[in-house]
Amino acid sequence: MTNHIQIGKSIVKNYSDYATTKTIDDRTEYFPTLIVIIKGIIESDTDKKEQIEIEKVLIDFAKELYIKSWIKHAIEDEDSPDLDQEKEAAISEFEHYYYG
């Protein structure tokens, strides 16, 4: 399981980094691809209990990266953004697009 999580985090981080350097639409590109990546990593482990844990860790990690990116953009776009509000907006957006 540890290998799946380490490899999964590496892939998710690289994809997140790529997405921040390109113009990628969250709804039609970023989240559908992220879901496929995480699903593929989960399915590479045959133990159902471990799959659940891997999924939780990778989704939490992806959400953390998404929030950081969101806040970075908010700081770049606004003079003094409300960071708590921006964090809540990022979480809401992530959960809306990831879970549908």
DSSP letter (8 states) at residue 44 = T
Question: What does the pLDDT look like over 3-20, one tens digit per residue?
Answer: 999 999 999 999 999 999
Question: What does the pLDDT look like over 44-86, one tens digit per residue?
Answer: 999 999 999 999 999 999 999 999 999 999 999 998 999 999 9
Would you state the pLDDT for residue 23? 87
Q: Quote the domain boundaries for residue 85.
A: 2-99
**Is the full-model pTM beyond 0.85?**
yes
Would you state the pLDDT for residue 1? 79
As a whole number of angstroms, the distance between CA 78 and CA 56 comes to 32
Would you state the pLDDT for residue 16? 97
Domain count across the chain:
1
Would you state the pLDDT for residue 54? 97
What SS3 state is found at 18? Answer: helix
As a whole number of angstroms, the distance between CA 37 and CA 90 comes to 20
